[in-house]
Every structure is written in structure tokens, then in C-alpha cells.
Structure 1
Amino acid sequence: MKSKLSTVLPLAALATVSMALVTSVPAHAFTIGCPSSIADNVTGTSGCQYSDSANQDSVSPNRPLTVNQEGFFGITNWSFGGKIGTNSGYAGTQSGQSGSWNLASVFQSSWTDVMLIFKSGNGTTLVGYELKDGVKAGNWTSPFESSLFGGNNTKDVSHISVYYREGGNSAAVPEPATILGTMAAGSLLLGRKKLQRKAQ
């Protein structure tokens, strides 16, 4: 009886800790792969994702960047570069239905990932395009099509923000199942060691 109880208690503790972690983590918005209708609206890109909830592109210095909270392309350490057509060196068409973008004068060889975030207005969320390696310029058409965001017509882009990541260390978002699995394996190993010590 004592042996069964010593086996059940660590498992119960593990279940309690796991549930506490899952329920105490704040709700996290996420990104979704773009439908084919907008996936290729920006030239020179390798991927497209849109947020399920974020409609503001906050770059305020006293708040976390929205794109990091959303985890665009599984990355949470993006840095803000500038806005197309607004900041020096970030050339191109800043708003409307279509245009161009050019980062050639600001692009750094240390940038390992570069992303363009498109923002519109009411009834839309942020749409991100990850650039292919070495691509510094291209064209775009508004991703805010009625098929995805409703309305009768494609909505205008209000601005395009550029984000980059430097260096080789990825701050990819860990999968919840991986975290819980690692915790479960560690707890089981600890419980097993305790049982082995008691058996000796």
C-alpha cells in the first residue's frame, strides 16, 4: 500500500503543477498561415502569416512589440527598423492598394530574418511577410482582401513596418506540449530516483 501511495503522489503532484501552469499562463494571441489568395501579395517573400487578434502595430518603447507578443513566424525577439515611406532609408510606397518597398540603403548583413508587417484599419488584423534571404526590394499589393477581412472591396494599407532579427540565436516560441512533456519527464525521473533510494 505504501509503495502504491509513493507512486501515486508524485504523479498527482505532477498533474497539479501541470494544470497550474496551463491555467496561469495568460491567453496568448497567435498567428495563422495566410490563405493562398494573399500569400503571394508581396514579392521576394518566403512566408505569410496574419494575427488572429492584433490590429495595432505597437512600437512604443515602454511596451513589448506587438509582433513579439504575437510570435510572427515563431520568433519573439524581432526589432523594429522603421516604416516604409516614412523613415529614412526605408523607401517605397507607404499606403494605398499597391506599391513598392526598398531596404537596400538600411539592410545590414547581420540581419538573419526580416519581416514586413502590413496594417490597415477597422475590421482587419496585422499581416506579416517574411523576406527570403538577401532580398532587399520588391512590390506589394494590399493583403486586406474582402475574402479574408470582409467588406465589398480590398482595404487600403495604412502603413508597412519593417522588423528584423540579428545574430544566430533563435528565440522561437516553445510549443506548450514540449514544455509540459519536459516537465513530466523530469518529474517522472525524480520520482523514480526516490523509489530506487527507498528500495535500497
Structure 2
Amino acid sequence: MKATAIACLIITGIGATVIANSAPAHAASFSTCTTSQFNIADNVTGTSSCQISNDFNQDFLNTNPSTVNQAGFFDLTNWEFGGKIGENSGYGGTGSGQSGTWDISSVVQNSWNNVMLVFKSGQGTNLVGYKVTDGITSGSWISPFEQAAFNFNSNGSRNVSHVSVYYTKGAKPPVTSVPEPGTIVALSLYGGSILVSRRRKNQTVG
């Protein structure tokens, strides 16, 4: 009986840990950056992931939470605005037009866990976010606002209005490993053997 209770406590503890580390839920949706018709995932070098927001075409900063946190880019809702590329923000590079560069080497901090570049264009396009690869601080880009990706009625690509930099701070959460079922059984048996041993000892003493 008690051994079963111990096993239940172990399983309950694991369940609580998994739930606590699950990704935050958000209402926004995203489109893929790669299909059989287009591929804008590699338009920005030095990045590992790309998402097109289906809900937001403006990166307004005067709301709480900010647009990128409402959207939940890359399943994160704690993005902080760092500034715009090439606009007296300390970031190097060019942040508008058909192509340019980005450079965060002079401002990046050890406390930054994630960095994201958000590209904005004009009407008929939504925000495109690129998650920067860990350890990379500079790269180049070409406009992700291609006709095939956004289905607007024009040839070629639209200009980028600006590129914004976002980051998250704080210690990275530890990776919680879930024990194999065999480990749980072993722990339960171990707890049961302790109880049996105590009962025999008590019987001997009496």
C-alpha cells in the first residue's frame, strides 16, 4: 500500500515538472518560411529559425505586452525590445531596402538567452521573425517579403521598412529529464523493500 503511494508521489512529481516547463500558450498563429513554392528561411544568415506571423503586420511597442509577445514568436513571451538596426541604437548594419547587414557584436550581453530579428515591410505583409543562432553576432540579409510568400500583386520582393532586434534575458531553465519507466519501478520496489524490512524488524523486537 505504502509502496504504491510512493510510486504515485514520484509520478505526480514528474507530471508537475513537465507541466511547469511546457511552452506558453498563445493565440497567434504562424506560417512556415519554407514551402515547395518559396523559401525565405535562409534569407538571413546567422539564424536558425524563421516564422511569419499570421496576425501582426506592425511591431507596435506601446502596448503591454508588446506585439511580438502577444504573437509568441518562437514560443516565447518575454521578448524585450533592443532597438532597430542602423538607427542610432548601437547596432551595426543596414536595416531597410532590398538587402543589408546586421551586427549586434557591440551591444550583445552574456545575459541574453535568445536574440531575434524582426523584419517589417508595408501593407499586405506580416512580420517575419528570425531567431539568431547561439554565438552568432553578425550576418547579412535579403528581403523576406517575396511575392510567392505573401501573394501580393507585384513582381520581385518588397523593400524592408526596418529590422528590429529583440532579446530575452535571465538564466536558461534547466533541462529536466524524465526517468524511464524502469527507473520508476525500481524506485517503487526500493521503497517497498524498506517498508518490509521495517516491519520484520518491528516483529522481531515485539
TM-score after normalising by structure 1: 0.68
Aligned to 1:54: 56
Are 1:43 and 2:42 counterparts?
A: no
Aligned to 1:32: 31
On the 8 A contact 1:31/1:71 being kept in 2, the answer is no
Aligned length: 143
SS at match of 1:81: strand
SS at match of 2:70: helix
Aligned to 1:154: 157
Q: Distance in 1 between matches of 2:147 and 2:160?
A: 13
Q: CA deviation at 1:40?
A: 0.4
User: Quick one: which amino acid aligns to residue 43 of structure 2?
Assistant: N
- Give unpaired runs (5+ residues) of structure 1: 1-26, 171-200
Q: CA deviation at 1:63?
A: 3.2
On the 8 A contact 2:113/2:172 being kept in 1, the answer is no
Q: CA deviation at 1:141?
A: 0.3
Are 1:97 and 2:95 counterparts?
A: no
Are 1:167 and 2:170 counterparts?
A: yes
Aligned to 1:10: none
Q: Distance in 1 between matches of 2:124 and 2:34?
A: 17
Structure 1 residues 31, 87: CA separation in 2 closer, same or farther (over 3 Å shift)?
A: farther
Q: CA deviation at 1:90?
A: 1.2
The alignment's C-alpha RMSD in Å is 1.5
User: Quick one: which amino acid aligns to residue 31 of structure 1?
Assistant: F
SS at match of 1:38: coil
Q: Which has the higher helix share?
A: 1
Structure with higher Rg: it is: 2
Structure 1 residues 46, 59: CA separation in 2 closer, same or farther (over 3 Å shift)?
A: same
On the 8 A contact 2:45/2:139 being kept in 1, the answer is yes
Aligned to 2:78: 77
Q: Distance in 2 between matches of 1:87 and 1:133?
A: 24
Q: CA deviation at 1:169?
A: 4.9
User: Quick one: which amino acid aligns to residue 123 of structure 1?
Assistant: G
Q: CA deviation at 1:28?
A: 2.2
Q: Distance in 2 between matches of 1:130 and 1:102?
A: 14
TM-score after normalising by structure 2: 0.66
